[in-house]
Chain A
């Protein structure tokens, strides 16, 4: 797993193609345990602000949420195209686009379709899922999340490997509560009666 941040998510496609190539070489020479059937996942995370979208969004894109989303998605698609143009159809890594609301640390997950293509309109928000599932028994909540994903996927479900991470991303749900209600729920030793 590796992480590198770029202003406005404008990551270097050429560097990523080189990274993908090195990892693929590692994989094909047996350097990655269990890598025979695995794939490379590239995740881009843009951000926005629901409380003040015109001023507190991504500064690199002039607080324009649509531009931030389009630019991040554009880079992801450029990476796929670059790998496919060089190494052939079907070689491209899988991609995932995530939007983060910096007001409450909520995640908007743009679900890819069966071909790995991302449509900005196909998304699920973990803060909404959290609100909807509050008080539900775990099994009911899981079914609710599955149903929400199925609605977002529509007639073109994402790849089976892509599906499990989404409920896990909803694992950050309680973070939204903590951000909204930052009152400490613990007592410092000196404050104890």
Chain B
């Protein structure tokens, strides 16, 4: 006979009673489950909060009286908010992972009658996911008679007749899957599919992950959420270390990443462990990895492959076991062909590559992010700010319009909402605040556009004489500059043609992209060989 262990919460209401003999005339689920003739509980793991220490001790004494066969194992589990899904689920998952369950040697019943509804749902989910390897135990009072034991039923979720419940609860488990999105209910289908895939990869793989996307698309925040998710699931124990490689220049880059020995160079007055060692058993996020020097790239590659590296000025290797997440807004493939990025490191990074779209490509997610930013503002400032209806509509109409370019992506949106929330009179964003903000954004973005146009001029001057350039309309300059950029990044004329005519080529019966591109360049007296350089 396998010993039986029951795991459940102390019911702060249901298990409570008057401290006197009348308690034996009341159904108390936790005591009752130890009173059945045909259910022998060898061990009861009773979870309870600090506030209920006294009740827990009292219930324990009564369980022992009615069931000397049962050893009661009291476990303190405190929740800041026992109705908070994420907190309860995470804490219970930690608890479950921390138990040395042995289903071969012991049977487990998960008592779901006590605790808040959220606790009950989480126990269900963990049982359904086999994090708690048992069957569900449900207890209820006896109808029409006073029986302190009540009655019980055991539900084995592995039986197919419970499939319909499992399906219904899949919706609830999706809630925990939205973790990576910080709980923002994003509506963009492509983005949501990508997040689902990242979640699967994050939980099943320790290989490096590459996040591509423009500045402000949320690479850094996503990397941090991946780390938190893995920590919650006990897959990493160490810290999240984040560094922007664009800030690492010269000697300092090596020493910041790999550490140095005291006296390794002037100014090295003490040992420095370096970022890689700080990320041991955790996660290292190297943002803008394309900015890293070639020497550092070689060292990083070795550190990923062998988990070892040489600190500056040291003759002994240091070890660090970290998972790498890299971020970039550059096309690393292009950088490899230009010789600015190591091909072998790129090959390592390119296993799990995810492209985070910019905000302009996810206009349907602007509204949920707007609410998220308002929540964050409230959390940060302790001040809840809201839009009035008209102001909200006006801002969203502007923000989601095709001409809103959002060059700084979610970072721009966050800054914009913070400005409005700060300036909002009496905690209410009105149309006036919105109008001022829209004007400000237009001004900022036109400055950006002028910079783009100026950038185009710089590029074109490499190929065209000043006279020729002066003869080209501003309208055409920007377009031509972009065409040249694509050509430089492409291997062949046909490749460039395919990239440039990506939409219209699907509608044509014959694909003559190369010819179209050649004719376009010829209009400006340019040839493929010259621009591909």
Question: Do the two shown chains form a genuine complex with each other?
Answer: no
